[in-house]
Structure 1
Amino acid sequence: MTYKDIDLDKDIIQKNKIPLLIEDENWIKLFGDVNDKNIQYIKEELMELVKKQKELERQKEKLKKEKLHAMKMILGISDTINNEHKVENIVLLDEYKQKLEDINKELEDIMYQLEIIPQDMKDMNFELLKATVEYGYRELKTKEKKLNAVTEELETLREKLKDLINEKHDYEEWIDATYSFLHGMLGSKEMEKLDKQILDRGEPI
């Protein structure tokens, strides 16, 4: 199954108030760097859209400042022509009028792009959600199998550890009981002598 085959409600992004995934901390932590070509491709596309939106906003603010400056210049130059009779400024006035017209056209184009880009981002975010769901469920199955295998291995090790602890306890009990018996039979002096003769040299009895 590919992410395109997943049947998700198109309105789920709005219904569940799903954020832009590439800006969500949990998504970044779980899926941001996964080795999945669909996720990585859509992630890059979405990042480009975000970058483009920010750049368009920057250009819009820059043009608005330029437009304000051009309008002030037009008013100032018009004043010199009308009140100071500086007809030579007509050429400069025409230049600023043309500049204002160009700015308005550019602003109109940017505003149009800024209007449509949120929907493009929403659509791309939805595609990323589908790719994430497909990858997530696939990985869930894989990791559940691995978890079961690890759990079984832990259970085996736990049983083995239990047997080793019991074996250790049996050895300790036997050693303590044997020392106690020999000590009772032979006394401290003989035990110390035998310890030096036999145990310290590592010789079998």
Structure 2
Amino acid sequence: MRPATRRRGDALRKAIFDAVFEQLRTVGYANLTMDNVATAAHTSKTVLYRRWASKDDMISEALREALPAPAEVALTGDVRADLHALLRCVQVAFTSTKGTAFQIVSAEAGCERGMVRQTVIAHVVQPCVDRILELLRQAAERGDVRPDAATELVAGSGPALLVQYSLVHGPVLPDAFISSVVDQIVLPLVAAAPGDARPATVDCLDR
């Protein structure tokens, strides 16, 4: 067996987190152990237990570091472009962990709301919904969308469809699917109805 390599700080964390995702990909959540991660990262189990009390704590931190942050997406005021940008955060969330963590843990934990799913929801999906709701409210104030469409239910429709797609088809979310969700689902939900007093709303959404 290859002896442990003494590393500290960011280099050690990166090696450990890389090992976590590789173990999830190759052996799955149920068979992932602190021993196996330590071996794959060329460190010791003692080093892991100094940092994390359990494998769930270790996996959660690895995910939080790898996942994108919707709060960092700069909104432009263009409804369609901003929806695309925020939904891409969800898209990246499923590929930034080597495309396997979400599905593996959800399946092997035997529960739709397993630990990894909860982490993805808390750090990506719900913040994405919150920011979409924010942009819809701002767009409603400008007259770009119907005021009654700026609701959490509408804001959550896009992220929910992306999560559902990933569970059925796998973690790779095609750009074309995101465009379809924006153009065929979300924008029609918020567009002004025929005869609306602000006909410019449709033009804005269609550009």
Q: Which has the larger radius of gyration?
A: 1
Q: TM-score range by the shorter chain?
A: under 0.3
Give me the TM-score of the superposition, normalised by structure 1. 0.23
Query: Which protein is richer in helix relative to its size?
Result: 1
Give me the TM-score of the superposition, normalised by structure 2. 0.23
Compare relative contact order (CA 8 Å, sep 6+) and give the higher one, 1 or 2.
1
